[in-house]
A and B are shown apart, each in its own frame.
Chain A
Amino acid sequence: MWSGTPLFPESASTMAPRVDALYFFLLAIAAFFSLLIAGLIVYFAVKFHRRSPDEVGARIHGGLALEIAWTVIPLMIVMVIFVWGASVYYAMARPPDETLNIYVVGKQWMWKFQHLDGQREINELHVPVGRAVKLITTSEDVIHDFFVPAFRIKADVVPGRYVNLWFNATKPGRYRLECAEYCGTRHSGMIGEVIVMDPSEYQTWLSGGSSEGSLASAGAKLFQDLACNTCHRPDAQGRGPVLDGLFGKTVQLQSGETITVDEAYIRQSILHPTAQVASGFQPIMPTFQGLVTEEQLLELVEYVKSLAARPETPAARPATGGPAPGEATPVKR
């Protein structure tokens, strides 16, 4: 009956062996101390078993050397574990510079994936082997959690935020994808597969079936349809900041703080435009909350990102310089 019953998960990402190594170290520590304590208890229970009804124990109250030993030695061991666990986690939390980006939207009870080239998938994610993949995730409703046991990665997918996670798959195959944060009735049905392919197969897969155009081009169309372009004009004559060359730059805010323009900032500027206004602009942009879906938001974000590649005109730098005269007083809400 044990055949076919796995006892250890598959290891299919660059992170998996690093997590497993720490896990085995912890298993060794746990086994050693469990056996030590259990062994001592059994040994003492037999050796010092009460021999007569009136017998009392020896008059021992304690020993300072022992107390120090079993305080300091465990402390040193756990600090080693802490540093090890934190350093592997640090690598998990920092994606490499060059990644293949894929957007993930969780909703009760399915996973939706949007590739930059325009492919969309539900509950299946195709990725190439041997390449760092960054997932930019968000949720349409409640908190979900993106979990691929074979990759040893997991992150909560939180509404109202972009949470990133990354992996580099090492073996072609199909791996289980699960929602690990309880999300309601069909929580255990919110599952799927990550399909890791050889690069050539992946190219074939990519070229098949994409008729909708890239994510950025869908965003460009939406940018026109929502009339964003009336204010965000590339010639710096609009009422809003020029978006060309903006992504990844650091801009100054009205509050005096600075912020690096990333996916989360673009998202927030669309949904809560007055929350963090770039210096030199008036908080006049209306919110698009409720007018765009999470997926459309991602298209817009990707469109703005695609503008980063365009040549930056000198006038398109309102945020890094000081505010233009006459624009310094923001309209109070």
Chain B
Amino acid sequence: MPSSTVLIPPRHYLNDGYGIKSWLLTRDHKRIALLYLASVTFFFFVGGAMAVLIRLDLATPAGDLVTDETYNKLFTMHGVMMVFFFLIPAIPSVLGNFLVPIMIGAKDLAFPKLNLFSWYIYVVGGLFTLYALITGGVDTGWTFYTPFSTVSSTTNVIPTALGIFITGFSSILTGLNFIVTIHRMRAPGMTWFRMPLFLWSTYATSLINVLGTPVIAITVLLVAAERVFHFGFFDPRVGGDPVLFQHLFWFYSHPAVYIMVLPAMGVVSELVAGGCRKPVFGYAFVAFASLAIAVLGFLVWGHHLFVAGESVYSAMIFSMLSYLVAIPSAIKVFNWTATMYKGSVSWETPMLYAYGFIGLFTIGGLTGLFVAAIAVDVHVTDTYFIIAHFHYIMVGGTIMGYLGGLHYWWPKISGRLYNEGLAKLSAGIIFVGFNLTFFPQFVLGYLGMPRRYHAYPPDFQVLNVLSSAGASILGIGYLIPMFYLMWSLRYGRLAGSNPWGSVGLEWTTTSPPPTENFAETPIVTWDAYDYHAPVEGHVA
């Protein structure tokens, strides 16, 4: 409970050195998390600015704001920035970096120098992609489909591909670091089944990162090589197959959807448990659902190719496997909802984001049932229905989870509390703005408005204007937390070690924690979310 007598600890990771070198050469996972926080926020607002321009342009059917070329570059760079430089790294590299060692009672990750190196790789990859953007941009769509990307596009395909290639190594190394850390560095008594569920989902995500990312690296390298040397892997004129690219691309990029959403699911498990002061209902089912998603996620890439000349029977197999991967997601939603039953349910900001996540992810998941049904997918694929569906997962899911987590652990990260009223207001604005932006797009999609269209029939203007209006509301919703979180760094009330009255090792150390996280290594004798165990830092 926040109380008037809390003091800032005399020694913590933020005052352990002040110069620029103490940040750029740090090996502290918490400082590296903040380096990532600054960089992913930067890319989020770059990608977001492009989204705003796209929606402004689509306010009129003729697309009067920018040219065709510019429009195509905008949606391409929006996708590249958001997917590879925000959604994939955001939760693991910011919240994961900060929390994984603390949640298992360790002093740091297994490989602290490698962790810092991962951040530098990420930054170099990001600079490559920014260079591609500033020197003319790229117009292939974030999917780089061949042969358009290999023989037709005259834009900066190679620098963008190299940027993605480089950044991939950051994901692989971070994943490796988390896997080793979770295996080897758990505090005494911290068994696998006492771990917070955030760690299970981070672990599952890391597996996908390590196994899947090399495939996208090879794939974008093939595209670059084909552009330079004209090998013809994807060129039918010399016997290559353009659809082969799609198989390779989605073999990574479908699991990448789970790289984006699994960490958010982990965050929501923490938010729901903390917000209800109650163990997550069916802990083991939620934990294994994460692993099931990671494994099954590798077997469904073909559902992106239902209209791409896939054989009838492989389409059916991929359709069925896609339905199987829906089940663990459904299990999670039911378990989170059941956790609220007889909880001590909070209405504070982190919990508002959790409600938002569960609601929006449910709609995103249920519309996944539409697109896994092959006959319906034939009609809606490559339309705005798909755009709406995956934004419900990635924006409604991942970003809601990320913001919820940022608000939940902000007092731990900064030692201070933000303005709760403003935080609730912006959570509400984001929820309303999000639905106004993306719900009309389901209708547009079934009507038959294709994605990546700069101009559209005048009949569709009303729905597009609604969507554009929603996007401007959403944009404001995302800006507000920037201000009150920055403000809280200096003026916020001191949080104390456990402002929410939650259990979990991170709430037993000071806010902000010391560089070594704990004064002495904790010994764990209780299960995760045990609000009835007599442990230090818990409220009952």
Chain A residues proximal to chain B, CB less than 8 Å: 1-2, 4-9, 18-19, 22-23, 26, 29-30, 33-34, 37-38, 40-41, 44-45, 48-51, 53-63, 66-67, 70-71, 74-75, 78-79, 81-82, 84-90, 92-93, 108, 141-143, 145, 147, 149-150, 152-156, 158-161, 163, 176, 178-189, 272, 275, 289-290
Count class of interface residues, chain B: 35 or more
- Residues B285 and A85 in contact, CB atoms below 8 Å apart: no
List 14 interface pairs A-B (beta carbons < 8 Å), by A numbering: A22-B376, A30-B369, A56-B531, A57-B531, A62-B285, A89-B374, A145-B307, A147-B382, A154-B378, A155-B307, A156-B307, A158-B243, A181-B382, A189-B68
- Residues A55 and B277 in contact, CB atoms below 8 Å apart: yes
Bound complex: CA A275 to CA B240 (Å): 13
Q: Which segment of B31-39, B182-190, B359-367 sits at the interface? A: B359-367
> Please, which residues of chain A bring their CB within 8 A of the CB of B463?
5
- Min C-beta distance of A148 to chain B, whole Å: 8
- Residues B374 and A33 in contact, CB atoms below 8 Å apart: no
- Residues A9 and B373 in contact, CB atoms below 8 Å apart: no
- Min C-beta distance of A249 to chain B, whole Å: 22
- Type the 1/0 row for B442-456, where 1 means its CB is closer than 8 Å to any CB of A: 010011101111111
Bound complex: CA A101 to CA B288 (Å): 52
Q: CB within 8 A of B447: which of A8, A93, A183?
A: A8
- Residues A41 and B243 in contact, CB atoms below 8 Å apart: no
- Residues B277 and A57 in contact, CB atoms below 8 Å apart: yes
- Residues A182 and B319 in contact, CB atoms below 8 Å apart: no
Which one of B143, B152, B459 has the greatest number of beta carbons of chain A within 10 Å? B152
User: Would you call B180 an interface residue if the criterion is a C-beta within 8 Å of the partner chain's C-beta atoms?
Assistant: no
- Residues B309 and A158 in contact, CB atoms below 8 Å apart: yes
> Please, which residues of chain A bring their CB within 8 A of the CB of B335?
62, 67
> Please, which residues of chain A bring their CB within 8 A of the CB of B469?
none
> Please, which residues of chain A bring their CB within 8 A of the CB of B338?
63, 66
> Please, which residues of chain A bring their CB within 8 A of the CB of B222?
none
Q: Which segment of B223-231, B344-352, B409-417 sits at the interface? A: B344-352
- Residues B358 and A41 in contact, CB atoms below 8 Å apart: yes
Q: Which segment of B15-23, B111-119, B324-332, B486-494 sits at the interface? A: B324-332
- Type the 1/0 row for B369-399, where 1 means its CB is closer than 8 Å to any CB of A: 1101111111101110000000000000000
- Min C-beta distance of B279 to chain A, whole Å: 5
Q: CB within 8 A of B455: which of A5, A58, A75, A189?
A: A189
> Please, which residues of chain B bring their CB within 8 A of the CB of A161?
236, 309
> Please, which residues of chain A bring their CB within 8 A of the CB of B460?
5
> Please, which residues of chain B bring their CB within 8 A of the CB of A176?
448, 457
- Residues B68 and A56 in contact, CB atoms below 8 Å apart: no
Residue of A nearest to B341 (CB): A44
Residue of B nearest to A189 (CB): B455
- Residues B447 and A7 in contact, CB atoms below 8 Å apart: yes
> Please, which residues of chain B bring their CB within 8 A of the CB of A85?
319, 372-377
Bound complex: CA A92 to CA B309 (Å): 13
- Residues A159 and B242 in contact, CB atoms below 8 Å apart: yes
- Min C-beta distance of A267 to chain B, whole Å: 11
Bound complex: CA A23 to CA B445 (Å): 13
Contacts known (A60-B342, A61-B283, A161-B309); A185 close to B139, Cβ less than 8 A? yes
Bound complex: CA A5 to CA B340 (Å): 41
> Please, which residues of chain A bring their CB within 8 A of the CB of B30?
none
> Please, which residues of chain A bring their CB within 8 A of the CB of B376?
19, 22-23, 26, 85
- Residues B448 and A147 in contact, CB atoms below 8 Å apart: yes
- Residues A6 and B347 in contact, CB atoms below 8 Å apart: no
Bound complex: CA A152 to CA B538 (Å): 58
